[in-house]
């Protein structure tokens, strides 16, 4: 028996902004800085999905990466790619579009369906720019 | 005498969309695909500015990179970073925000001032995603 | 008028070897070293296709990148991805599978069809590993 | 006392395929897709070896990286670089050449000898393409 | 509640050497090889600071990345960037300038102040070259 | 006939500083900023050597990359890797160690010997950090 972790990378390009309607423009500016720009800005996001499990005896696969990629594209990429994270994405409605919140939301979208594929979701990593990224392991 | 080319890289994050108001939604969709999303999308753009000239005898510099970086940040990055290319950027007003058009517009913003620094602008390269980039050398 | 260069990146994974049947094993080993391994080896190749032209007034595009990508996938990637460059690729039959020869062969496959799209092929760049790449500009 | 993790990166280029002789061509195609190509395909693999231990008081080293690199090159890289993972590699004989199985096999090749160097193997990470990688931490 | 990890990347360029004054030149050469060069050598170091915590309800932030970056620049980057790690850096005085020791020293410089920002330092990762990096998680 | 360009990448780590002994400390500071640090700083330099020529009919090679790499390692890398560019490198003696001057000096070291291998040196590119690089094509 060998517990192995396998990671698939996907990318998407999206617009967003960080600002609260219940805060003044001054407060939004002070807390969120240039990320509060009224007319939005955007990023090339990079998404890493890590699952863990035992490699199957016949295939040597923890998971069929084509099936995992298909799932991620259907459930996540089609919702966020070339979209506005604040306005267009059902699973982000009413949430701040920080990278932290986005990573947790993607975890929740994928967790059960990856379980149903016979392995376990281990980590969602979302990279917003070359200089920062977020990881969520399902910890409370 | 040695003609040397030196390149500085800068980055910015911006929102944009590709669509024409004088076209139907169907035509915009057909030509621009997901890039026409009404609520915008965005990218981490990478900008490479290449200048050429003779290294100075005393410094060994074609150009002082700090001064070049300062110029590019003042004239370009402050205008486009965490902004909407269609709505917020004076030098893009009335233009399509394709990477091609953006590269030519940045060339025109920088050309004379780089000349005034004693060297010559050689190339503006703009990378929109890992999978595509544009180069403009001032050719007609 | 502004002559702009735009580059699209595609990737493929292929097996190949460098050896000549009309040479002894010793000579193959001496000239090609470990690249002559009888049972093949392989690479993640990266292909950059650069075309040049005038951005169209209505779209701001030199070429529609989706159409260019579709052409490259149909004509090249479907032929070489997860294939053996020596055995499986019609346009490489009877040729050495060096990166140099591969780049020239890809240029010849794409040149006319890119012309037919209204722009001009400028460069085929093929990267074999992080440590080496080849460029062909159609020069004799 | 400070437990520190140090990682060395090595690369190799290899051919392989995913298919089972006890399966029909149709089943191989269905499960492994283009990875089942009869004439092989290949990758530039990237291997990361992470070891952990206490930095020595006199050198500040958890392990001498030159010695670690020498070990990895002798035991692993010389076996897999410019080779066919299915046909040429003793420690992969009779195994599927999936990235998962390869990572576990490399762990087993290195574990004891790294122990003998006075530190502990923590992780073997194998990257097959830019879009996927596998990690094994010796867990059952 | 969701425990999220967020990582900020910073870079610095520094000179250093690995050698001990209480060892002969021969022993330094034997143990440290070319890293013992008397007139120093240097690297572009990459520093990754990972902190963990609960995203705040109003901002969605585990930590304000601008504030974290400001702290790291004030406490670390200003001390090490374009400096000599052996001669110029107060928090490295009297220590070997191995990547292992450097990572532990940076952890100690940042730990309490990150605690005071309301989250917890999780990992200091220091990359010396593309081929090696070190991680410290505060473990004894 | 097909004129093909092939590029080999090599890396080296070196210390240097930018300052003139015939200038005051204030002037050095004003012109070179933090690059004038008295106790040096350093970089992971990346060197790209591009040669051009006709692929040979029998090998498909413009140049044997192993031979080119061997030449570059003997003539350049062994002189600059883990060295001080100002103090240790014969071909940089009496010169400013700017990236521009370094690229021209490497060109002069390699030009004739590459000619003797039956192809032509086309470009020396030296990258000092991720944010800047220099190219020299032998132009006056």
Distance CA B93, CA B85 (A): 8
Give the model's pLDDT for residue B3: 98
Annotation says B128 is catalytic = yes
Mean residue pLDDT across chain E: 98
The C-alpha torsion from A60 through A65 and A71 to A73, rounded to 10°, is: 180
The secondary structure element, H or E, covering residue D49 is strand D41-53
Q: How confident is the model at residue C132 (pLDDT cuts 50, 70, 90)?
A: very high
Cβ distance F127 to F88 under 8 Å? no
Give the model's pLDDT for residue B139: 98
Give E18-72 pLDDT, tens digit per residue: 999 999 999 999 999 999 999 999 999 999 999 999 999 999 999 999 999 999 9
To 5 degrees, how large is the angle CA D10–CA E46–CA A9?
A: 60
Give C88-116 pLDDT, tens digit per residue: 999 999 999 999 999 999 999 999 999 99
Cβ distance B127 to B49 under 8 Å? no
pTM score, whole prediction: 0.98
Q: Which other chains touch chain A, taking contact as 3+ CB pairs less than 8 Å apart? A: B, D, E
Instruction: List CB contacts (< 8 A) between C7 and chain B.
Output: 132-135
What is the DSSP pairing of strand A120-129 with strand F41-53? unpaired
Contacts 24+ apart (CB under 8 A), E108-112: E109/E75, E109/E76, E110/E49, E110/E71, E110/E72, E110/E75, E110/E76, E111/E138
Q: Which of A10, A29, A44, A81 to mutate to test the interface with B (most CBs of B within 10 A)?
A: A44
Q: Looking at residues C1-21, what average pLDDT do you find?
A: 97
Cβ distance A88 to A12 under 8 Å? no
Give the model's pLDDT for residue D45: 98
Q: Looking at residues A56-80, what average pLDDT do you find?
A: 98
Cβ separation E7–A97 shorter than 8 A: no
C40: nearest Cα among D29, A72, D97: D97
Cβ separation F83–E39 shorter than 8 A: yes
Annotation says B41 is catalytic = no
Please name every residue paired with B8 in a beta bridge, in sequence order, or none if there are none.
B49, F132
Question: Catalytic residue positions of E?
Answer: 35, 82, 128
Mean residue pLDDT across chain B: 98
Distance CA D139, CA C105 (A): 47
Q: Looking at residues D67-86, what average pLDDT do you find?
A: 98
Q: Which other chains touch chain F, taking contact as 3+ CB pairs less than 8 Å apart? A: B, C, E
C&D contacts, CB < 8 Å = 75
Q: Looking at residues F13-26, what average pLDDT do you find?
A: 97
Give C54-85 pLDDT, tens digit per residue: 999 999 999 999 999 999 999 999 999 999 99
Q: Does domain B4-136 have CATH number 3.30.479.10?
A: yes
The catalytically annotated residue of A35, A43, A109, A123 is A35
Give the model's pLDDT for residue B84: 98
Distance CA B89, CA B80 (A): 6
Q: Spell out which chain D residues touch chain C, with contact meaning CB-CB distance below 8 angstroms.
A: 11, 13-16, 34-35, 37, 39-44, 81-84, 87-88, 129-130
Q: Spell out which chain E residues touch chain F, with contact meaning CB-CB distance below 8 angstroms.
A: 11, 13-16, 34-35, 37, 39-44, 81-84, 87-88, 129-130
CA distance B105 to chain F (A): 22
Mean residue pLDDT across chain A: 98
F72: nearest Cα among F28, F125, F27, F32: F125
Give the model's pLDDT for residue C135: 99
Give the model's pLDDT for residue C4: 98
Give the model's pLDDT for residue B34: 97
Instruction: List CB contacts (< 8 A) between B31 and chain C.
Output: 59, 64
Instruction: Name every residue whose Cβ is closer than 8 Å to that of residue E132 and which is 6 or more positions away in sequence.
Output: D6, D7, D8, D9, D65, E99
Instruction: List CB contacts (< 8 A) between A82 and chain B.
Output: 34-35, 37, 41
Q: Spell out which chain A residues touch chain B, with contact meaning CB-CB distance below 8 angstroms.
A: 11, 13-16, 34-35, 37, 39-44, 81-84, 87-88, 129-130
Instruction: List CB contacts (< 8 A) between A41 and chain B.
Output: 13-15, 42, 81-84
Q: How far is CA E56 from CA A92, A95, B115, E53, F130, in A?
A: 16, 12, 49, 9, 34
| H helix count then E strand count, chain E | 4, 5
Q: What's the gap between Cα A76 and its chain centre?
A: 8
What is the sign, positive or negative, of the torsion defined by CA atoms of B69, B74, B75, B76? positive
What is the DSSP pairing of strand E132-136 with strand F41-53? unpaired
Q: How many CB atoms sit inside 10 A of residue A42's CB?
A: 29
Among all residues of chain A, which has the CA nearest to that of E47? A131
Cβ distance A103 to A126 under 8 Å? yes
Cβ separation D5–E130 shorter than 8 A: no
Give the model's pLDDT for residue A43: 98
Give A17-35 pLDDT, tens digit per residue: 999 999 999 999 999 999 9
The catalytically annotated residue of B35, B109, B122, B123 is B35
Distance CA C94, CA C71 (A): 24
Phi, psi dihedral angles at A105 (to 5 degrees)? -65, -40
To 5 degrees, how large is the angle CA A25–CA A28–CA A30?
A: 105
Give E105-139 pLDDT, tens digit per residue: 999 999 999 999 999 999 999 999 999 999 999 99
B16: nearest Cα among B95, B73, B74: B95
* Chains C and A in direct contact, meaning 3 or more beta-carbon pairs closer than 8 angstroms: no
Q: Looking at residues E76-94, what average pLDDT do you find?
A: 98
Among all residues of chain F, which has the CA nearest to that of E88? F39
Cβ distance A13 to A45 under 8 Å? yes
Give D17-53 pLDDT, tens digit per residue: 999 999 999 999 999 999 999 999 999 999 999 999 9
Cβ separation F40–E84 shorter than 8 A: yes
Q: Looking at residues B9-29, what average pLDDT do you find?
A: 98
Instruction: Name every residue whose Cβ is closer than 8 Å to that of residue D13 and which is 6 or more positions away in sequence.
Output: C41, C42, C43, C129, D42, D43, D44, D45, D81, D82
Give the model's pLDDT for residue E47: 98
Distance CA E66, CA B23 (A): 42
Give the model's pLDDT for residue C114: 98
Query: 3-state DSSP call for residue A127?
Result: strand
CA distance D66 to chain A (A): 28
Q: Looking at residues F74-101, what average pLDDT do you find?
A: 98
CA distance E68 to chain D (A): 23
- Interface predicted TM-score (ipTM) of this complex, two decimals: 0.97
Where are chain A's structural domains?
Answer: 4-136
CA distance B43 to chain C (A): 16
A&B contacts, CB < 8 Å = 75
Give F106-117 pLDDT, tens digit per residue: 999 999 999 999
Distance CA C57, CA C60 (A): 6
Q: How far is CA A77 from CA A13, C8, C69, in A?
A: 9, 21, 20
Q: How confident is the model at residue F99 (pLDDT cuts 50, 70, 90)?
A: very high
């Amino acid at each position: 028996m060998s517990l192995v972790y396998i990671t698939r990378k996907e990318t998407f390009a999206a617009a967003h902004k960080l600002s609260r309607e219940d805060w003044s423009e001054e407060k939004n500016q002070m807390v969120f800085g240039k990320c509060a720009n009224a007319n939005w800005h955007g990023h090339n996001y990079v998404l890493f999905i890590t699952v863990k499990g035992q490699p199957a005896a016949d295939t040597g696969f923890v998971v069929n990466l084509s099936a995992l990629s298909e799932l991620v594209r259907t459930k996540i990429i089609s919702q966020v790619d070339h979209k506005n994270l604040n306005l267009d994405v059902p699973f982000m409605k009413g949430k701040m579009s920080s990278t932290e919140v986005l990573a947790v939301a993607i975890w929740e979208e994928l967790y059960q369906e990856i379980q149903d594929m016979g392995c376990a979701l281990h980590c969602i990593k979302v990279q917003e720019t070359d200089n920062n990224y977020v990881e969520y392991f399902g910890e409370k």
